[in-house]
Structure 1
Amino acid sequence: MDTRTYVVTGAASGIGAATADHLAEGGAEVIRCDVRDADVIADLTTAEGRERLVSEVAALSKGRIDGLVAVAGLAVPSELTVRLNFFGTIATLEGLRPLLAAAEQPRAVAVSSLSAIVATDESLVAACLSMDEEAAAGAVRQAVESGRGRIVYPSSKLALNQWLRRAAVTSDWAGSGIPLNAVAPGVVDTQTARTTFLDDPATRDFVASAMPQPLGFPGPVAAIASLLAWTVSAANSFMTGQILYADGGAEATLRQTP
């Protein structure tokens, strides 16, 4: 069997690093992309960085990749979050789609978030889905200035989910034989999560209450990495357009019906 070639964004740390390592340990060739410590150094919050990612991956892969794992993301109350989580992710998916189409069993997955089912901002989501990046950035600034900065991250992920559900079944993706899915983690034990809130007992307790995870809080990074790896494996031949909640049972808890 030929060695599969994968591209992983956000590969310098956290879920991205764990996924890249998991794929490499399984014998795959992995092109790691990030703003530091990677094969491709590119800032996906900018048009120039997005173009650099596509051109350098095309060169390194010789024009064909078997799988794409779009992990790169931010969770700060800033317009950079929506520029990366939504517009940067879609630019990555769309920009590398021709390289996927050149493979025999191509697959793609993006990282979403459990938080997308919590509070979001309709105007921000709508601006994203209209593909108006500057309007989305403006909506972020308004949210932050009004003290609603916490909705920026979940809104960016909800917009990503909605875009992905629509795109996955189109001729560009399903019609071209490219399954496209998302994995939505709950709270997992990454360095970013620890420094952001897990190391602070009060904040940790608040998040644990808002996002109850019956299987454990925080969750293991390795579980997310292995699921992401499966979604881009040749074995995943018939699932597309799905948001897979890998959250220790949080989504099922929060959305329980009577």
Structure 2
Amino acid sequence: MPRTSVLTGAASGIGKATKDLLEQRGERVIGVDIHDAEVVVDLSTAEGRAALVQEAGRISGGSIDAVYAVAGLAVPAPATVAVNFFGTVATLEGLRPLLAGSEAPRAVLVSSMAALLPSDGELVALLTDGDESAAMARAEVLARDPATTGQLIYASAKLALSRWVRREAATAAWAGAGIPLNAAAPGIIATPMTAGLIATAEAREQLLHVVPMPLNGIAEPIVVARLLAWLNSEENTHLCGQVIYVDGGSDVVLRGDSVW
């Protein structure tokens, strides 16, 4: 039987590349997005998150093999917090019961190398505590200056997401249930989300100064898709709580030996 997955962010970028790859391999993918998807919902809202779980359960017949939480925003606004952190966590926690019937259940989310960049400690703490109303209020404050403090929102959400994976993966709900939970952390990927940032040679050079990618530079979405597909494959039996940087070397350059 082909594996059945639920994949958010399926309409573009990394999500679309992953969906296309899985379907080329003969797998069934229930795509989720705000448009052009089998399940059309807004993951920035509680209603959208609940609808995702309900519809995924209905379409799948109550059982799936993998969850790909890919959907995300990169704007200096509270919506980035709502989708990137709370939407992602709700996707994984809400769909986890549907994994119970799989012989090889898997789950993966997309974080970012931006987790290594400057962030807002207060926002990260509120996200770590799961306090959505307070986190949204803090993001509102940061968003008042999009060019400075607003830029901290995305990094903060991705840092909190990476921490969430590390904290949750080895618990009874995930590892104890035989479900590997991991994350991919891309560098700069050529997607609609980054199109404005890499439109010119000068813009690319400036961005790569902040996000160094010495190995082959800016990547195409398929690069991340291949990693996500393996993380959620039957072959991956023991990776647990890992945040894997597929970033052309940004993590190496920016952190060096500090993690060891």
CA distance in 1, matches of 2:11, 2:26: 19
> Comparing 214-223 with 226-235, which one deviates more in the overlay?
214-223
Aligned counterparts, 1:6-45, within 5 A: 6-45=5-44
Aligned counterparts, 1:141-220, within 5 A: 141-146=140-145, 147-194=148-195, 196-220=196-220
How far 1:201 moved relative to its partner?
A: 4.0
CA distance in 1, matches of 2:202, 2:89: 35
Aligned counterparts, 1:103-118, within 5 A: 103-118=102-117
User: 1:125 aligns to what?
Assistant: 124
CA distance in 1, matches of 2:33, 2:25: 21
Q: CA RMSD of the aligned region, Å?
A: 1.1
1:53-100 residue CA offsets vs partner (Å, 9 max, x unmatched): 000000011111101110000000110000000000000000000001
TM-score, normalising length: structure 1? 0.97
CA distance in 2, matches of 1:152, 1:203: 21
How far 1:192 moved relative to its partner?
A: 2.2
Q: Give 1:162's aligned amino acid.
A: R
How far 1:223 moved relative to its partner?
A: 1.1
Q: Give 1:87's aligned amino acid.
A: F
User: 2:81 aligns to what?
Assistant: 82
> Comparing 218-227 with 68-77, which one deviates more in the overlay?
218-227
Q: Give 1:222's aligned amino acid.
A: I
Count of aligned positions: 256
User: 2:136 aligns to what?
Assistant: 137
Contact 1:8 1:20 in 2 (8 A): yes
- 3-state SS in 2 of match to 1:109: strand
Contact 2:73 2:193 in 1 (8 A): no
Q: Kindly report structure 1 stretches of 4+ aligned residues shifted beyond 4 Å.
A: none
- 3-state SS in 2 of match to 1:192: coil
1:28-73 residue CA offsets vs partner (Å, 9 max, x unmatched): 0110000000000010000000000000000011111101110000
Contact 1:101 1:178 in 2 (8 A): no
CA distance in 1, matches of 2:132, 2:230: 32
How far 1:162 moved relative to its partner?
A: 0.6
Contact 1:188 1:217 in 2 (8 A): no
Contact 1:109 1:181 in 2 (8 A): yes
CA distance in 2, matches of 1:35, 1:144: 23
1:91-124 residue CA offsets vs partner (Å, 9 max, x unmatched): 0000000001221110000000001011011100
CA distance in 1, matches of 2:97, 2:39: 18
Unaligned runs of 5+ in 2: none
Contact 2:74 2:193 in 1 (8 A): no
- 3-state SS in 2 of match to 1:95: helix
> Comparing 105-114 with 214-223, which one deviates more in the overlay?
214-223
Unaligned runs of 5+ in 1: none
Contact 1:65 1:99 in 2 (8 A): yes
User: 1:64 aligns to what?
Assistant: 63
* 1:253 matches 2:253: yes
CA distance in 2, matches of 1:95, 1:50: 8
How far 1:257 moved relative to its partner?
A: 3.3
Q: Give 2:123's aligned amino acid.
A: L
1:188-244 residue CA offsets vs partner (Å, 9 max, x unmatched): 1112211x3111444322211011111122112111101000000000011110000
